[in-house]
A = this chain, B = another copy of it.
Amino acid sequence: MSTAADNLFRELKISCSSCSLGELCIAHGLSSREINKLDQAVNHTILLKTGGMLYRQDDTFKSLYAIKSGSVKVITQSQDGQESIMGIYLPGEIIGFDGLANGNYQSSILAIETCHICKIDFDALHLAIPTIHPQLLKHASKAINCIQSSYSTTKTSAEKRVVNFLLNLSERYRQRGYIHTDFYLFLSRSEIGSLLNLTAETISRCLRKLERETYINIVNKRRILINDTNKLRALLQDH
């Protein structure tokens, strides 16, 4: 019923040349003239508040989106109405490739914290910079590898899946220049469970066990401090 337009957001004007995403964005490697053209294709910067929806599963595909700040979750709804979290996206990641194949997005995107997001009209982008596609393909390829690797981790024990989840987040924060041993979980235990194919109780038990064994500290339920990344990573090796 409701669409992304129902949610509160403001439009901001930030030019691509002054955007902080840098090489993470599709603009990477473009000439300044091309970047000006990109600016015209990317006419909206959206402010999306926590809980706000960027787009809904089955909406017709029109745009790709680049996350400038904040994070979002990917949700799919199966035919029986069960919602399931498929992943989360952080700044510098491009969303929307799933809509390209059929012309409809295959998942819904919701903000799990306040986000700034670039809306990139696909047709306009194509017209403005025909040479952009290799960059897009690389981003799509990265998305493929990302999903592929999360599929791999479903083959291990609950504890390993949780450890892998934490290390994956940590590494992605590190790559973006954030502190990678101290971060906030924007997902509930139940949502993490949905993401990792486990129950909320199991997530809770695993996190507390990791805390008891001093691999991590948990502050205020949601804030994670990693004491020693290498020791944590070692947990993935044992069988």
Looking across the interface, which residue of chain B has its beta carbon closest to that of A99? B141
Instruction: Tell me the complex Cα distance, A97–B133, Å.
Output: 14
CB of A178, distance to nearest CB on chain B (Å): 21
Selected from B101, B126, B131, B155, the residue in CB contact (under 8 A) with A84 is B155
A86 / chain B contacts, CB cutoff of 8 Å:
148, 151-152
In the complex, A98 has a CB within 8 A of chain B: yes
- Given A86-B151, A126-B134 in contact, is the A97-B144 Cβ separation under 8 Å? yes
A147 within 8 A of B: yes
Q: Is A133's CB under 8 angstroms from B144's CB? A: no
Q: How distant is the Cα of A133 from the Cα of B141 in the complex, in angstroms? A: 13
In the complex, are the beta carbons of B133 and A101 less than 8 A apart?
A: no
How many chain A residues touch B (Cβ–Cβ < 8 Å)?
38
For A131, the chain B residues whose CB sits under 8 A away are 130
Give A197 to B156 CA distance when docked, in angstroms: 9
Instruction: Indicate if A142 sits at the interface (CB-CB under 8 A).
Output: yes
Q: Which residue of B lies closest to A82 (CB)?
A: B155
Contact A140:B84 (CB < 8 A) given known A145-B106, A154-B197: no
A148 vs B150: C-alpha distance in the bound complex, in angstroms?
10
CB neighbours of A152 from chain B (8 A) = 76, 78, 84, 86
A138 and B100: CB pair below 8 A? yes
* Structural contact, B148 and A100, CB atoms closer than 8 A: no
A137 within 8 A of B: yes
Say how far A96's CB is from chain B's closest CB, in angstroms. 9
A148: which of B76, B80, B137, B237 is its contact (CB, 8 Å)? B76
| Given A78-B152, A143-B144, 6 new contacts (CB under 8 A) | A97-B144, A101-B138, A147-B147, A147-B148, A150-B151, A154-B154
A-B contact pairs, 12 of them (CB 8 A): A97-B137, A98-B141, A98-B144, A98-B145, A101-B142, A106-B148, A133-B134, A140-B140, A143-B144, A147-B151, A151-B151, A154-B154
